[in-house]
Amino acid sequence: MNYRKFGNTGEEISALGFGCMRLPEYEKDGKWFVDQDKATEMLLHAYENGVNYFDTAPYYCHSNSEEAVGKALKGIRDKVMISTKIPVTDCKSTGDFRKFLENSLAKLDTPYIDFYHFWVLIRSPLMRES
């Protein structure tokens, strides 16, 4: 695996990251679930082959991706970097930013995330008209 420096962070990120938007899912009684066994196998296989950057978001996989990623990477959390996003369009006040962060941390079952991306800035109600 090739690794690249991530800006001035000092972090070395795998050139190939793992996007967790399309983890294996199944539907039961009208509700969607991530197939945790398959997802864990996939994510750990990627890690074993050098991937150290995993990207998720609150609404990926019918809002189940963060939880599945957290479970899959729990045993190697200190060896990987997790990225998630804040859906800025859903933030109606600045207090919502903390709420979304805390929710993502809980779903990922981790005390920290490595990278936090602002998602869909163009339509945010908090953006000022120029």
Residues designated as active site: 60
CB atoms closer than 10 angstroms to residue 59 = 15
| Region of residue 62 (phi > 0: left; psi between -120 and 50: alpha; otherwise: beta) | left
CA distance 114 to 124: 23
d(CA 18, CA 3) in angstroms, rounded, equals 14
Whole-Å CA distances, 112 to 30, 77, 101? 33, 10, 10
